[in-house]
Amino acid sequence: MKNFQGKSVLSGVAIGKLFIFKKQEYTLVKKTISDIEGEKERFREACEKAKDQLSRLYDKALADVGEEQAMIFDVHKMMLEDMDYLEAVEGMITEQKVNAEYATNATGESFAEVFANMDDDYFKARSADVMDISKRVIRVLAGVKEGGIDSEEPVIVVADDLTPSETVQMDKSKILAFVTRFGSQNSHTAILARSMNLPSLINTDIELLDEYDGKLAVVDSFNHTLIVEPDEETLAEKQKALDKWRAELAQLDELKGKENETTDGRKINIYANIGNAEDLPKVLASDAGGIGLFRSEFVYLGSQDYPTEEEQYEAYKTVVEGMGGKKVIIRTLDIGADKQTYYFHLDHEENPAMGLRAIRICLERIDVFKTQLRAIYRASAYGTCSIMFPMIISVWEIQRIKEIVEEVKAELKAEGIPFGEVELGIMIETPAAVMMSDELAKEVDFFSIGTNDLTQYTLAIDRQNECLETFYDSHHPAVLKMIKMTIDNGHKNGIWVGICGELASDLTLTERFIDMGIDELSVSPTYVLPLRKRVREI
């Protein structure tokens, strides 16, 4: 039994025989040629053939994995039509009187170097594309056949790294997992592995030895490991993990596109919570109906100074636009003395949980608040956007907020900057807000209950304090009564009520929340489908 460590690009388990993928060996030889025109003609013919291959690969990829993945072959084809590239190869054949194989390789390498030296991972990854097209032309010139998987049963493919043209030629039903020695989270293999839901590892410390070929192995990307020739005990344990993972996947996947509806026909919305724009792909993959909590702290915490309107606008716009019209609820600044950045210059507080935080800072520093509101309103022109305000205790706060919002809208209008219809809501996370929920509901379009803070303030228990474990109860009836009261008062005034705290993903409470009449639950993207499953069982 041998263990190898890698980095997971998609968590899961695969058990099967290893397939050691080695590139088709072709020894490049530099030759001096005399028939320059003939050699250039040979190069042009090879390019045409290579482009034919790429067209076929495009069609195959389109059918197998969709347009997004297939586009790369179209780009490769364009690269083979690029005059800079073609002229460089032909120029080299003419000037140095070298064979087409050599000129193509040398040109490919010099173009690849340009990309490899760029300071961005996406651009760096393009150097692999240049080498891929160059190698393709060379293979055509040299008459080397393309290789696929020659195994009868599905295998774990082990390689240095795989090019798009290598992976697309592989019969997808024969691949259990990818294990590569190199590559990155943005490499084609990683992207493909995620799109095919194959548990895969990159940067794995395994050598491509022939002796591994055909050996039984386990990829456990939950634990970032590849185990070659596992002992019986390990194998049995991993087989269990595999069965469990598969069963969960199959069940959840079937739920995509389905309604969040109970067996007796009650429907709720299930939205996702996110912390920054990079979480967007996870939300889209989770099939969430919207974003129920977009924490805006990241624009402040990741910054050295107050983030500009433009910076914030870009971040919000990316998410609002990316959700394609689905609702995105942005929570305004929610920081305090315990979660702050130095440029806010907040004084040290004895009790930050009850201090100058969240909306209180915004109402004290209207300029900071207005910058954020302007950025959100500008982003609202690109989709469906809502705003919610944290830490509300009094009706006057929301009235003051609405005045400021009106000022912002008037300013934008005067400047001719477009914005959309924006729902305004508040977080219900203080006992005061619950007690005032009847009055507050008359001022806003929705409530979102933040159960973490509401529990802490209701029970007077700091959840980080381990000494209080005996007293802490996440299902405390006081909290559940507060939730019920909030829902009732919201509905009485015709507004919708959701939960965006941790309790929303507590599947043991889902039925009670639905019985209470909850309209929306917002959870982290990975909980969207499990929650949908639970709702459909009720």
Q: Which residues contact 513 (CB under 8 A, 6 or more apart)?
A: 483, 499, 504, 521
CA distance 319 to 280: 6
47 classed as catalytic: no
- Does the protein bind other proteins through residue 140 (CB under 8 A)? no
Provide the residue type at 63 as one letter: A
- Does the protein bind other proteins through residue 471 (CB under 8 A)? no
Active-site annotation holder among 47, 188, 362, 385: 188
| The binder of other proteins chosen from 119, 150, 210, 415 (CB under 8 A) | 119
Query: With respect to other proteins, which residue has the nearer C-beta, 318 or 394?
Result: 318
- End-to-end C-alpha distance for the chain, whole angstroms: 46
Q: Name which of residues 354 to 393 contact other proteins (CB under 8 A).
A: none
Provide the residue type at 455 as one letter: T
| The binder of other proteins chosen from 62, 65, 71, 363 (CB under 8 A) | 71
- Does the protein bind other proteins through residue 65 (CB under 8 A)? no
Query: With respect to other proteins, which residue has the nearer C-beta, 111 or 527?
Result: 111
- Least separation, in Å, of the C-beta of 408 and other proteins? 22
Query: With respect to other proteins, which residue has the nearer C-beta, 71 or 363?
Result: 71
385 classed as catalytic: no
Stretch that binds other proteins, among 5-13, 49-57, 66-74, 444-452 (CB under 8 A): 66-74
| The binder of other proteins chosen from 102, 111, 496, 527 (CB under 8 A) | 111
- Please give the structure tokens belonging to residue 359: 């909306």
Stretch that binds other proteins, among 115-123, 154-162, 166-174, 328-336 (CB under 8 A): 115-123
> What is the CB-side half-sphere exposure of residue 447 using CA atoms within 13 A?
35
- Please give the structure tokens belonging to residue 262: 């109970």
Residues 264-293: x where in contact with other proteins by CB under 8 A, - otherwise, as a string: -------------x----------------
Q: List the one residue out of 448, 450, 446, 428 whose CA is nearest residue 494.
A: 446
DSSP state for residue 267 in the 8-state scheme: B
Asked if 164 contacts 4 with a C-beta cutoff of 8 angstroms, the reply is no
Query: With respect to other proteins, which residue has the nearer C-beta, 67 or 338?
Result: 67
- Please give the structure tokens belonging to residue 360: 């209180």
Q: Which value, to the nearest 10 degrees, does the dihedral of the CA atoms of residues 45, 47, 49, 50 take?
A: 160
Cα 90 to Cα 97, 114, 132, 537, distances in angstroms: 10, 19, 19, 67
Residues 13-52: x where in contact with other proteins by CB under 8 A, - otherwise, as a string: ----------------------------------------
Residue 293's DSSP bridge partners are: 273
CA distance 239 to 218: 9
Asked if 393 contacts 402 with a C-beta cutoff of 8 angstroms, the reply is no
Query: With respect to other proteins, which residue has the nearer C-beta, 195 or 318?
Result: 318
| The binder of other proteins chosen from 28, 122, 236, 258 (CB under 8 A) | 122
Active-site residue list: 188, 500
Positions touching other proteins (CB under 8 A) are 71-72, 74-75, 78-79, 82-85, 111, 114-115, 118-120, 122-123, 125-126, 129-130, 277, 314, 317-318
